[in-house]
Structure 1
Amino acid sequence: MLDANKITEIYFIIDEFSKEFNKTLSAHSLNETKPVKKRNRKFSLSDSEVMTILVLFHAMGFKNLKHFYLFYVGKHLTEEFPDLVSYNRFVELQKRTVVPMSLFLKTCCLGQCTGISIIDSTPLRVCHIRREKQHKTFKNIATKGHSSTGYFFGFKLHIIINDKGEILDFMFTQANVDDRDPLKNRNFHKRIFGKLFGDKGYISKDLFEQLFIDGVHLVTKIKKNMKNSLMLLQDKIALRKRSLVETVYDQLKNICQIEHTRHRSFDNFITNLLSGLIAYSFFPKKPSINVDFENNRLVA
């Protein structure tokens, strides 16, 4: 469990961002030619508090948001959040935080590239594959895809991490999107330089050349029907530790709960995903590797 000081620290960081976000938003908003009378009533629970509660839910490893809000926040965090609303109202207020939460994640929570990066994708299942025809919440949005564990129905999360386990960038796509497609988007890898390690699903001559021009060297294993090629011993050592990204996904799914099948709307799904990624960025200890290239060995 997080102590009071850590909760205050998370709230302070989010609140400082919210102040700048609201200031920028109001400065660039268009004024109406004809003044219209509107209610400008302040919400009892601010956007910063809503975002903080969502981040705390994922950071503390709870499984059910309703129970967390009613029986933990409502009983043990009343001093930190004195103006709590009903749970139904809290669910409605979540929708207001999608845009600021995504901007906060992009601007304040991503790590710095160290020259060694790892890329991979993971399925985000919204229901069992046998119930894909009956599923209604994500009808015409979710798609059927295939991964190393078989077919699934839902979406894909693509992330790039560094050797410290920090997320450098992420992209959210439908399940039937090829793993190589996000890398073709310059915005997805514009913060990356040096070596980028991936699995065999990223093998593509055109993609390799495109990334090389952008200053990124894509390193993968070869398929059985491909001719063998020489590889630096340093790259072989780093390629063995590509499974670090699987450990990151394991924490995102089992601790931060970014994947479950209880969503009632697409907005709820997005806020759950974004707040889970933000919560991971606040973890004090992340899975990491330390590669000693001088002696060509891995340091624990």
Structure 2
Amino acid sequence: MLVALLLSRLIFKHPFASIWWNILKEDRPGLPSYTQAYTRGIKLLPLLEHVASPAQPCAEVVIDSMPLPICRPKRTHLCQFPGAKWGFGTQGEFFGYKLHAWVTPGGQIVQYVIRPANLHDVTVSYELNLRWPEFEGPTIIGDKGYCCLGYVYPPKKNTKYDTGWRESRHPRIRKRIETVFSALVEAQIRSVQTKTLASLKLRVVLAVLAHNLARP
């Protein structure tokens, strides 16, 4: 029940976790404090991550990454967040991590990893590919950042082979992951108030679970 209540804030899109928890406690006097609930959530993190990414058959998946900044740029010289690095996203440089994910054409996040922002998308994609057999060998659709053999991606001007990209269908499929990432941003996974890697992972896994549960 604890996990369900933590997820409920994201499903109902309430912006403030502690206020939402106090609302829940009004007719549930036996609930622990929000701090206690959050601490218990951290302890359940390995189980939640396993539940969020079960093996399942997929014909196609879309791969991409999104920034997870952990502090504002002007405060990076004071930041001691373990493992955080400078990276580059569509909106410029940031300090923190990246979320790399596989998303189905239907909008389900089937697996993801959180890695330092300085790692190239292709490098991390090979880590995701380790689970490729568990998903029955789906076709992986990326953008031009994934321009290597084994992926379907938009060809560059100097590409001399067929990348598998078809303008009649793949742009529409690619747009799905952008919609999913927008939903995760709305769930506040980019909050710069995160202080530890475990709390960042909990924030992300709850957002992923809530997204998949609320998906039509």
Normalising to structure 2: TM-score of the pair?
A: 0.88
2:79 counterpart of 1:148: no
Structure 1 112/54 Cα, relative in aligned 2: closer, same or farther at 3 Å? Answer: farther
| Sequence identity percentage | 21
Deviations 1:70-90 (A, max 9, x none): 1x21125x2xxx521123322
Task: Select the residue among 8, 15, 25 that pairs with 1:74.
Answer: 25
Structure whose CA Rg is larger: 1
Indicate the SS of the match to 1:131.
Answer: helix
Indicate the SS of the match to 1:273.
Answer: helix
2:41 counterpart of 1:94: yes
Task: Select the residue among 219, 222, 229 that pairs with 2:155.
Answer: 222
What code does the residue aligned with 2:193 have? R
Deviations 1:73-128 (A, max 9, x none): 1125x2xxx52112332232222211221122123xx7641x23211110011112
Kindly report structure 1 stretches of 4+ aligned residues shifted beyond 6 Å: none
Contact 1:182/1:188 (<8 A) preserved: no
Indicate the SS of the match to 1:182.
Answer: helix
1:236 corresponds to: 167
What code does the residue aligned with 2:15 have? K
2:132 corresponds to: 189
What code does the residue aligned with 2:154 have? K
Deviations 1:194-221 (A, max 9, x none): 43211111112xxx1xx4xxxxxx2111
Residue segments in structure 2 that go unaligned for 5+ positions in a row: none
Contact 2:108/2:215 (<8 A) preserved: no
Contact 1:219/1:235 (<8 A) preserved: no
1:170 corresponds to: 112
2:2 counterpart of 1:55: no
Q: Distance in 2 between matches of 1:222 and 1:193?
A: 22
2:194 counterpart of 1:263: yes
Q: Distance in 2 between matches of 1:231 and 1:102?
A: 33
Residue segments in structure 1 that go unaligned for 5+ positions in a row: 1-48, 212-217, 286-300
Q: Distance in 2 between matches of 1:194 and 1:106?
A: 15
Task: Select the residue among 253, 262, 266 that pairs with 2:185.
Answer: 253
Structure 1 192/117 Cα, relative in aligned 2: closer, same or farther at 3 Å? Answer: farther
Structure 1 184/87 Cα, relative in aligned 2: closer, same or farther at 3 Å? Answer: closer
Q: Which has the higher contact order (CA 8 A, sep 6+)?
A: 2
Q: What is the 5 A alignment of 1:6-45?
A: none
Structure 1 284/162 Cα, relative in aligned 2: closer, same or farther at 3 Å? Answer: closer
Deviation at 1:227, TM superposition (A): 3.8
